[in-house]
A and B are shown apart, each in its own frame.
Chain A
Amino acid sequence: MNLHAIRAIYKFEMARTFRTLLESMLSPVLSTSLYFIVFGAAIGARVGSVDGVDYAAFIIPGLLMLPLLNESISNAAFGIYMPKWAGTIFELLSAPVSAFEAVLGYVGAAATKSLMLGTLILITARFFVPYHIEHPFWMVAFLVLTALSFSLFGFILGLWADSFQRLQVVPMLIMTPLTFLGGAFYSISMLPPLWQKISLFNPVVYLISGMRWSFYGKADVDVAISLAAILGFLALCLAIVSWIFRSGYKLRN
């Protein structure tokens, strides 16, 4: 195991994170604050409570997941796309580094950044709503697993993308609708029956549901299914990454 390489990549990526810390943290925190004001305070006052949870508190797990998913994807995608775009990837390819080690460095750093962001959003939420976390261990577990698997997904996206446009297309066109329709702002049970069924094909539903369960002990789907879904997604991403490195797809022509 080339530990020095993992450390070097991780440090390199974290240095990039800290260079742009203010910009990259400020915008998600600001948008989350806006959600709290609009949905939590203004609309939430009329909605009352969902599943016995005050609406402003009800949306916290979802609002935590939204930026977590988006930032994990775009961070990791950018982290590996940049060297490809700038040509500096030659060094990684010529180094005695295995696929697994490269992933640990890049995805580890992206996930770390996402966790920092998640913590920051939880702190921000405190200013707007008092909330209680019923299963803190599972909350952290969902946070870490989500950050890891979606950073991995972003890494794949960054490897696949061959233009900045493509890099943005997946977060914009796929992740935004999935997250908005993933039950961040409502319980799936509030939807008409047909849409409830359709929602079950949306992986984000399982993530937000699992996260909400860790907060309030209430979920749209069984928490075990949520956990299985996220672990399955993680395994799938790992398999794709290892295939990419083995075959050289888009890396070694």
Chain B
Amino acid sequence: MSFEPIVSIQGVSKTYASGLQALKSVDLDIRRGEIFALLGPNGAGKTTLISIVCGIVNATTGSVVADGHDIARDYRAARAKIGLVPQELHTDAFESVIATVTFSRGLFGLAPNPAHIETVLRELSLWDKRDAKVMTLSGGMKRRVLIAKALAHEPRILFLDEPTAGVDVELRHDMWQMVRRLRENGTTIILTTHYIEEAEDMADRIGVIRKGELILVEDKAALMKKLGRKQLTLALQTPLQRIPHELATLPLELSADGDAITYTFDTQREETGIAELLRRLAAHGIDFKDLHSSQSSLEDIFVSLVRS
């Protein structure tokens, strides 16, 4: 994977006519071929940022270069490279699946290619439904149609705005399979999601946006490592009423039923303090029957970030 940015966002801000400042001078480089996950609470500016890159919303200030083309000056070349799957299920109603997907390819300036359309429809399990009117499809199927439309013109950069919102398990699974395949073919993917475990599974890098500001961009692994906290849970032989006050200085928490003690520690530290903890517990005659450790998820990291 090359580190040359395929999308370069510089100083992009957006103030809507209503006065709402949706983005405050965002700088972001997306690397060629990566899967980038943009996380943030509702209303943080994720969709606005995507909409600006895709040409749906005009930025108030700043510039965006997509695959070497300025999205304003050279919009034709830039937009031809970009595919967008919007968050809302905005689909045609009366058109057939194959007609609406074929339409998208033409709209993006490509000659008809029935073989490519067939491949896309087959990959998304839409081929059998190709002659069905879009309005007769279920929500999940409509989502597939939107993906097929976005892929009809073979984009190099694919934006997936909340692709798995309201989607069943099977489709989510199919979708991530497809995302992986696209990435193998060299497509750069930028996605937003509320399902943080998805970002954790899929993304190479993660950006967190809060109140229109990009507060963090990090390799996922580095982020998990840097902010990750581990917890050691000890299941006690005999329940405790309370933690002995000699141990109160340690980051310990007693479960409500007194059956377990949780010790939180930082993985970055040389000394985790586990050995010391176990010695001191033994000295107080606290015996345990089981123990396990767990690493905090991206979700915990995310929650702590957006709350801070």
A248 CA to B16 CA, complexed, in Å: 13
Contact between chains at A88 and B92 (CB < 8 Å) = yes
CB-CB contacts of A1-38 with B at 8 A, as 1s and 0s? 01011011101100110010000000000000000000
Contact between chains at A15 and B95 (CB < 8 Å) = yes
A-side contacts of B107, CB under 8 Å: 4-5, 8-9, 91-92, 95, 97
Cβ-defined partner of B56 (8 Å) among A12, A15, A86, A93 = A93
Closest to B134 in A: A88
Closest to B82 in A: A94
A-side contacts of B57, CB under 8 Å: 252-253
A96 CA to B55 CA, complexed, in Å: 9
Closest to B17 in A: A253
A-side contacts of B91, CB under 8 Å: 86, 88
CB-CB contacts of A174-197 with B at 8 A, as 1s and 0s? 000000000000000000000000
Which of A15, A16, A90 has the most CB atoms of chain B within a 10 A radius of its CB? A90
Interface residues on B, range: 35 or more
Which of A5, A9, A86, A94 has the most CB atoms of chain B within a 10 A radius of its CB? A94
Closest to A3 in B: B109
A96 CA to B107 CA, complexed, in Å: 7
A-side contacts of B93, CB under 8 Å: 86
Shortest A161–chain B CB gap in Å is 18
Q: Known: A96-B77, A96-B109. Is A91-B58 also a contact (CB below 8 A)?
A: no
Contact between chains at A96 and B108 (CB < 8 Å) = yes
B-side contacts of A98, CB under 8 Å: 76
CB-CB contacts of B108-147 with A at 8 A, as 1s and 0s? 1111100000000000000000000000000000000000
Interface check A130, CB cutoff 8 A? no
Cβ-defined partner of A5 (8 Å) among B58, B86, B106 = B106
A8 CA to B152 CA, complexed, in Å: 13
Interface check A52, CB cutoff 8 A? no
Closest to B18 in A: A253
Interface check B75, CB cutoff 8 A? yes
B-side contacts of A2, CB under 8 Å: 76, 109
Q: Known: A12-B103, A94-B84, A253-B17. Is A5-B108 also a contact (CB below 8 A)?
A: yes
Contact between chains at A12 and B95 (CB < 8 Å) = yes
A184 CA to B107 CA, complexed, in Å: 41
Interface check B79, CB cutoff 8 A? yes
Interface check B298, CB cutoff 8 A? no
Contact between chains at A253 and B16 (CB < 8 Å) = yes
Contact between chains at B108 and A95 (CB < 8 Å) = yes
Q: Known: A95-B79, A248-B58, A253-B16. Is A4-B106 also a contact (CB below 8 A)?
A: yes
Contact between chains at B94 and A16 (CB < 8 Å) = yes
B-side contacts of A12, CB under 8 Å: 95, 99, 103
A-side contacts of B16, CB under 8 Å: 253
Which 8 pairs of residues, A with B, have the shortest CB-CB distance?
A8-B106, A87-B90, A96-B76, A96-B79, A94-B54, A2-B109, A95-B107, A4-B106
- The chain A residues found within 8 Å of chain B, CB to CB, are 2, 4-5, 7-9, 11-12, 15-16, 19, 86-88, 90-98, 248, 252-253
- The chain B residues found within 8 Å of chain A, CB to CB, are 16-17, 54-58, 75-80, 82, 84, 86, 88, 90-95, 99, 102-112, 149
Question: 28 pairs across A/B with beta carbons < 8 Å?
Answer: A2-B109, A4-B107, A4-B108, A5-B106, A5-B108, A5-B109, A7-B106, A8-B102, A8-B105, A11-B103, A12-B99, A19-B94, A86-B90, A86-B92, A86-B93, A87-B86, A90-B84, A90-B90, A91-B107, A93-B54, A94-B84, A95-B107, A95-B109, A96-B76, A96-B78, A96-B79, A248-B58, A253-B16
